[in-house]
Amino acid sequence: MSNLIKSIIAIVVIVLIIIGFWYYGSKPAVPVTTGPIKVGFIGPLTGSGAAWGIEKKNTLELAKDEINKAGGIGGRQLEIIYEDGKCDGKESATAAQKLINIDKVKILTPSCSSETLAVAPIAEKNKVLVLAVWPTNSKISEAGDYIFRVCYSDADTSKIMASAIGSKYKSIGILTEQTDYATGLSDLFKKYYQGKIYEEQFPQESRDVRTQLTKILSSKPEAVFLNPDQVATGLEALKQLKNLGFKGQIYGNFFGGGEEIIKSPYAQNMIFFADPSVSDSPAKKELLDKYFALYGKKPDFEYAVAATYDSINILKQAITKVGDDPTKIKDYLYTVKYFNGLLGTYGFDQNGDLTGSQPAAKQIINGQVVDYVIKN
């Protein structure tokens, strides 16, 4: 073989090597995938929890349309598949199996504590990411490596409750709905409150709690804490408590933030423990204005709506960075410490819990919600 031919071959080999480096080096770090990015929603669309489940769905639709109209995520459209979890563990587990095995969803966003705790082991087994919005049960902190939530924990709520109630009263009656959220909050409160507790529980979604309230009042508690899982059951408990003649201080959990509760004559002066206020900002105003324009009313649960909107944008950021593989998203979320959203600047800790968000004490006065200052 002549030296000329050898030289030509050598040049060709070098060129091919350069082309190879250019081709593979220029490929994006995140594999290109076609088709929509699917997110599975599991939340209460019917039943007594529908009031805020529908608000979450509305917010997801609003956020999805914004993203898709702007070109999607990496050129791919966002698709959300909705399942009615009814704040029920069995229903939610069935919904999760359907979303994962039939719809081939890799990302789930459940709502209630009961839904999230039921979905978590299924998601862990299938390595599906869970980014839950508003489930506060403290057990979610240990629910799995793929489980994240955009809200505070009842571990914090119970300490605030014990401080507020314990500084004034040595005995309290508690009416608790039999759900993961309500029983979890009650169990934690008992760890921190030093006074006497008279507790009765009622079946999920029951609207007649007069028997339980009568037993509580027969013990003559100084105050009563209403601990339902839904706004509807909370409102009925309020009415029946007042109709039984109780004139002392009433406390409540998150249900006090519902517009129907705030305007109810039965709820005036009630102190409740729930979401911190969402700070005013141009972004918050823009979201609420869009929500009103689309749905004809402002949302009752402002924190939940803001957290839902943030959750989709957190996912957008993660998928833009690492693609839609749930394990890569999971690993990425653990590195997020300073996400700037409607809830403020926050991130996730080693348990997938939100950092930088604490529950608050509030009071209903003359049909308005005001901050309640705890005086020890």
Say whether both 45 and 141 belong to one domain. Answer: yes
Q: For 229-262, what is each residue's pLDDT tens digit?
A: 999 999 999 999 999 999 999 999 999 998 999 9
Domain with 41, as residue range(s), is: 37-152+279-358
Q: What are phi and psi of 107, to 5 degrees?
A: -135, 130
189 part of a folded domain: yes
Per-residue tokens: 113: 């504590």
- pLDDT at 208 (0 to 100): 97
51 part of a folded domain: yes
Q: Is the pLDDT of residue 6 over 70?
A: no
Q: Is the pLDDT of residue 26 over 70?
A: no
Tell me the sheet residues that pair with 162: none
Rounded to a whole number, what is the largest CA-CA distance in the chain?
Answer: 110
25 part of a folded domain: no
Say whether both 78 and 217 belong to one domain. Answer: no
Choosing from 274, 289, 320, the residue where a domain stops is 274
CATH number, position 253? 3.40.50.2300
CB 200 within 8 A of CB 175: yes
Residue of 310, 288, 284 lying closest to 299 (CA atoms)? 288
7 part of a folded domain: no
Alpha-carbon distance of 113 to 132, in angstroms, equals 9
Mean pLDDT of the region 150-175: 96
- pLDDT at 204 (0 to 100): 94
166 part of a folded domain: yes
Say whether both 55 and 116 belong to one domain. Answer: yes
Say whether both 162 and 148 belong to one domain. Answer: no
26 part of a folded domain: no
Per-residue tokens: 362: 């509030």
Alpha-carbon distance of 251 to 171, in angstroms, equals 13
Say whether both 213 and 301 belong to one domain. Answer: no
- pLDDT at 105 (0 to 100): 98
Say whether both 162 and 95 belong to one domain. Answer: no
Alpha-carbon distance of 75 to 71, in angstroms, equals 6
Mean pLDDT of the region 3-14: 45
Say whether both 241 and 321 belong to one domain. Answer: no
Q: Which residue has the higher pLDDT, 344 or 11?
A: 344
Residue matched to tokens 């039965």: 266
- pLDDT at 33 (0 to 100): 61
Choosing from 252, 274, 296, the residue where a domain stops is 274
Neighbours of 71 (CB within 10 A): 10
- pLDDT at 364 (0 to 100): 98
Q: For 281-321, what is each residue's pLDDT tens digit?
A: 999 999 999 999 999 999 999 999 999 999 999 999 999 99
264 part of a folded domain: yes
Say whether both 251 and 300 belong to one domain. Answer: no
Residue of 135, 134, 117, 105 lying closest to 41 (CA atoms)? 105
The dihedral over CA atoms of 324, 325, 328, 332, expressed in degrees to the nearest 10, equals 20
Q: Confidence band (pLDDT; 50, 70, 90) for 375?
A: confident
Whole-number percent of the chain with pLDDT over 90: 87
Q: Is the pLDDT of residue 30 over 60?
A: no
5 part of a folded domain: no
- Domains of the chain: total: 2
Q: Is the pLDDT of residue 9 over 60?
A: no
Say whether both 287 and 190 belong to one domain. Answer: no
Say whether both 213 and 232 belong to one domain. Answer: yes
Q: For 202-234, what is each residue's pLDDT tens digit?
A: 999 999 999 999 999 999 999 999 999 999 999
Q: Is the pLDDT of residue 83 over 90?
A: yes
Across the chain, what does the average pLDDT equal?
92
CB 316 within 8 A of CB 76: no
CB 109 within 8 A of CB 133: yes
Say whether both 146 and 160 belong to one domain. Answer: no
Specify the amino acid at residue 159. Answer: K
- pLDDT at 356 (0 to 100): 85
Choosing from 274, 303, 330, the residue where a domain stops is 274
Say whether both 341 and 250 belong to one domain. Answer: no
Q: Is the pLDDT of residue 17 over 60?
A: no
Collect all residues with Cβ–Cβ distance below 8 Å to 367 and sequence separation of at least 6: 262, 263, 268
Q: Is the pLDDT of residue 140 over 90?
A: yes
